[in-house]
Amino acid sequence: MTNVLLRAGFYGCAHLGYRMAGMARTHPSGLNIREVDGYATYDLVMRDMIACGVQFISDGGDLFHVHAPSPRAIDEALAVDDLRVTAGVVRTTNTGNHDKASVSNVSAVASVHRPALGSYSVFPRQERPDGEVFGPHPGLYEVHQPVPDMPLYLHIVSDYGLDDRLQDRGIHIHPTPIDNSVNILVSHGIFSADDRMFGAVDGHGSHRVIPSEWVERGFDASILSDYHTPGPIPGFGPDKRKSGQVWMTGSLIGRGFSDDICSRGWLLLELLDTGYVRITHKPVWSRPQRDFEPIDCSGKTVDDINVLVRKRLAGQRWWDDESARITGDGGWLLRQRFRGASAAQRHSLRALAGEWTTAAGDAAYWGVSFETTPAEDTPTTSVQRNISHGRTRINYAEDFANRQTSGRVGAVLAAAAPAIRERAARAASKALERL
């Protein structure tokens, strides 16, 4: 019989303070409904980890959605962290790209850095007290032993530590396991061997690469954050290896329809008496979403399309009782995409937006977007309109092609190993064509 020697909770990308544009209404509190969702999910995850008896907690980064979080977001973060304090569980919090500005500002995770209460955040800080100095490179790469009497070490590399320009300053980040111990690599960035790597890219800060070579150095597991879909990275999961698995924590909340619609939650890491670690995804509540199948507008009249949309919206009541109990609003998030619509069709379909919003009933969000077909992918069709948000959308695949040799996209590709650069670019282009 296998015995569990230790349990630990890992999560990332809470994005506290995130707000979704185009919501059908505000929350009864006056806040954006998705902002409330983020706070509620964070609370649920913390309570679930404590209930599972974890002995330490690791936050993988992007605790906040922006580097200068609102007072409300900070207050919610501390209120939830107080649950951990009461339970007597220690915590480490990494810095993600959303937690920091592109300039050398203090990381937002400084707001939960409370060593006296067992909470240690990883970010560069001048003149640290002796009891808060963790090497080998404080704020960049720190090694923590969360349970003093157990030889288990977290090797935490922050977003700051993934900056390849550190080498110009003589700083070389080389996470290295400690002999005769359990070693877990924790970092926040784009894993270079993940074909889905560009799914994590957004407009906040720089985007840095975690070298795939790091996970082959003898770590018992690597638990990474940034990509918002949880689970083992393809090729590095339990189906391929018993030791040295590589997992993504995923996010606690999806960013509109730019992220995969999937379960949200945290990862339970269990140290077994066999010497191996076992990782299990533990889902919690998330607001239900429906991304309806795209409608091909070619050969259809506007009346045909209108009937189909209304039929879909009439399919059920878009209200979820569990969401209402947890957050105070039970509305679903809905989106309909159209492909191949002519200019005349788009004009007529936009005129129906108000009627469709009414037909969506209790939904908390109803959005419509137009997509181009391959034949339409020309410079004159690279700009689309989202009639729910009322703002310009870019043809991301075309924009990506124009950026591959410059700016942040160019920097990410340049940092990738030559063997995967072309494969990654193809995978990114293919994924962006579907947006």
pLDDT digits (tens, 9 = 90+) for 297-353: 999 999 999 999 999 999 999 999 999 999 999 999 999 999 999 999 999 999 998
Q: Under a CB-based contact definition with an 8 Å cutoff, are residues 255 and 228 in contact?
A: yes
Same domain, 204 and 272: yes
112 CB-near residues (< 8 Å, 6+ apart): 63, 77, 78, 81, 93, 119, 121
Residues 96 and 203 in one domain: yes
Task: For residues 269 and 297, state if they share a domain.
Answer: no
pLDDT above 60 for 411:
no
Structurally, how many domains does the chain consist of?
A: 3
**In this structure, are 63 and 50 located in the same domain?**
yes
Write out pLDDT tens, residues 4-53.
Answer: 999 999 999 999 999 999 999 999 999 999 999 999 999 999 999 999 99
CA distances for 413 relative to 366, 420, 425, 434, angstroms: 36, 9, 8, 21
* 211, 304: one domain: no
What's the Rg (C-alpha) of the chain?
23
Q: How far apart are CA 386 and CA 377, in angstroms?
A: 17
Domain coverage including residue 294: 289-394
Cα distances from 182 to residues 12, 311, 327, 381, 409, in angstroms, run 21, 56, 39, 54, 36
Same domain? 265 vs 295: no
**C-beta of residue 360 within 8 angstroms of C-beta of residue 379:** no
Extract the tokens encoding 294. Answer: 């795209």
Are 105 and 112 within 8 A, CB to CB? no
Q: What b/e string do you get for 165-187 counting C-beta neighbours within 10 Å, with b at 16 or more? A: ebeeeeeebebebeeeebbbbbb
* Confidence check: pLDDT of 435 > 80: no
247 and 146 in a common domain: yes
More confident residue, 378 or 38: 38
Residues in contact with 218: Cβ distance below 8 Å, sequence separation at least 6, in sequence order: 177, 183, 244
Same-domain check for residues 316 and 262: no
pLDDT band at residue 434 using 50, 70 and 90 as cut-offs = low
Q: Which of 263, 284, 305 is the last residue of a domain?
A: 284
Contacts of 188 (CB under 8 A, 6+ apart): 12, 60, 61, 62, 94, 95, 96, 97, 157, 158, 159, 162, 224, 225, 226
Within this chain, do residues 280 and 293 fall inside the same structural domain, yes or no?
Answer: no
- Give the pLDDT score at 59: 98
The yes-or-no verdict on residue 130 having pLDDT over 70 is yes
Would the pLDDT of 419 be above 60?
A: no
Can you give the CATH number for the domain in which 173 is found?
3.60.21.10
* Rounded distance between C-alpha atoms, residue 409 and residue 417, angstroms: 14
Lowest mean pLDDT among 25-34, 291-300, 389-398, 402-411: 389-398
The total of other beta-carbon atoms located within 10 Å of residue 285's CB is 20
In this prediction, residue 420 carries a pLDDT of 64
Tens digits of residue pLDDT in 88-118: 999 999 999 999 987 667 899 999 999 999 9
Pick from 168, 12, 155, 24: which is nearest to 95 by CA? 12
Same domain, 268 and 375: no
Give phi and psi for 189, each to the nearest 5.
175, -170
Same domain? For 390 and 403 the reply is no
Domain identity same for 269 and 173: yes
pTM (predicted TM-score):
0.84
